[in-house]
Amino acid sequence: MKQFLNDLWNGEPTFVLGIIRAVLVVGVLLFLHLAPEQAAAIYGVIEAATTYYNRSKVTPA
């Protein structure tokens, strides 16, 4: 299982980050009971952080 996850991370970092992003957003929406504006702000931060990391993984150096 560890090898599978390692291969998935190394082969498809965008897919893995998309799953992580979705889980974080759903967790925020279901468990924090925020106003729509607050949820949108948190989503923006999550999106920015994962996009920044994703760019470093898939952009040629």
Query: Mind listing the pLDDT tens digit of every residue in the chain (61 residues)?
Result: 888 888 888 888 888 888 988 898 888 888 988 888 998 898 899 889 888 888 877 767 6
Does a structural domain hold residue 1?
Answer: no
Asked if residues 12 and 54 have their Cβ atoms less than 8 Å apart, the reply is no
Number of domains in the chain: 1
**Tokens standing for residue 44:** 């923006």
In a domain, 3, yes or no: no
What does each C-alpha distance from 48 to 10, 17, 34 come to in angstroms?
21, 12, 20
**pTM of this structure:** 0.68
**CA 60 to each of CA 4, 11, 14, 54, 56: distance values in angstroms, whole numbers, following the listed order:** 24, 14, 14, 12, 8
Whole-number pLDDT of residue 29: 84
- What is the C-alpha separation between 44 and 47, in angstroms, rounded? 5
Which structural domain, as residue segments, surrounds residue 42?
A: 13-56
